[in-house]
Chain A
Amino acid sequence: MSTNDLLLVLNAIAAAVLIVAATAKLADPAQLVRALGELGDLPGVATTSVRLFAAAELAVAFLLVTPVTAVGGAAGTAALGIAFAAAGIFGMSRGSTVGCGCFGREHGGALGSANVVIGIMFVVIATATITRPPSGGASYAEHASLGAAALALGLCLYLHRAIVLQIVSTQWRRESAKTVGS
């Protein structure tokens, strides 16, 4: 695997994680507001600002998947990574207990070490992208977009597997009941 291919994979992973995290914040900004509120009276924390932050995450995710904008996306990824790590460290120092809802309310980890790990991961990916910008033009963009889409969908299905299983089992039971009654 070449350096460019490795960057493609890493940026696709980062983009996928950002897409899933951003959509969780867009759907339920209140959970993160509650989690941050537990840490103290932080200025500017509101559902609107969380949604704006989510929009920034989405923008960075899309910037990462084309070589033309990848360096800018990497700068954004680094900034987000620092923010996540800072939030995790702050959460650990204040003994946070409220789930951050970073990937949905039902995934209830409080701000802590997981956020630090993800933040560091983002900073590492961003650094690699900035120091060795990807090349490959259209081919890179295609593969990175498709990779990010597949990973985002896979991560989403994994995080919401309970809902998916319930829908599938309900449908199966309905079909079974129809078969019994006919």
Chain B
Amino acid sequence: MTVVLSLVLLVVVACVVLLFAMMGQLAARLPFSVSDEAQLMPLEDVQRLGEEPHGWPGDLSGLAEATRSPLVLVLSSSCASCSAVADELAGKSGSTLVRETGVVVSCGDAAVGRAFADRHGLWEFPCYIDAGGSWALANFGVQTSPTALIFDDHRLTRALVFTNFEALLSDVRPKEVFA
């Protein structure tokens, strides 16, 4: 009996190992590797650097009028890193960061995107549900998330893929403390 149990355990472990192999294969298909220790990387194939977006949809429209050029975060509703970033943002929802940080939730279905925003409390920020990812793709060729779009004088100057929001803030707003 114990022999059978031992063999069954070996089968179970083989299935677990297969699951990890499948996860590893999916991870290897990402534009950047999960083993990459860099927290900020320039977005490859970014388009229209130096240009303004064609428009600021929905709640992002206020960013067009802001005196300070905004920081726009493109998050995907189906991305674990994006959920982590969204939780970090939620921790700053009472800060001055709210006025100058826009969030674009890229999703296949608008209802899924709204649920993502509800779950992570993103409505405190200017937030746009980008069904199909069309705004991010059409304006700046963004197909990866989480991505930060950094504007200067309302023109896109940098696009960074990031995994940690604090590291991003340290890079783009190094001398500021958000309270």
Which A residues form the contact surface with B (CB < 8 A)?
15, 19-20, 23-24, 26-28, 58, 61-62, 65-66, 104-106, 138, 141-142, 145-146, 148-149, 152-153, 156-157, 159-160, 162-163, 166-167, 170, 173-174, 177-178, 180-181
The interface stretch among B57-65, B66-74, B81-89 is B81-89
A19 touches which of B7, B9, B13, B81 (Cβ 8 Å)? B13
Contacts of A66 in B (CB 8 A): 3, 7
Majority DSSP secondary structure for residues of B touching A: helix
Contacts of B35 in A (CB 8 A): 106, 162
B24 touches which of A106, A142, A177, A178 (Cβ 8 Å)? A106
CB distance A145 to B9 under 8 Å?
yes
A141 touches which of B3, B21, B24 (Cβ 8 Å)? B3
A177-B91 CB under 8 A given contacts A105-B28, A106-B28, A145-B7: yes
Number of inter-chain CB pairs below 8 Å: 115
Which B residues form the contact surface with A (CB < 8 A)?
2-3, 6-7, 9-10, 12-14, 16-18, 20-25, 27-28, 33-35, 80-81, 83-84, 87-88, 90-91
Majority DSSP secondary structure for residues of A touching B: helix
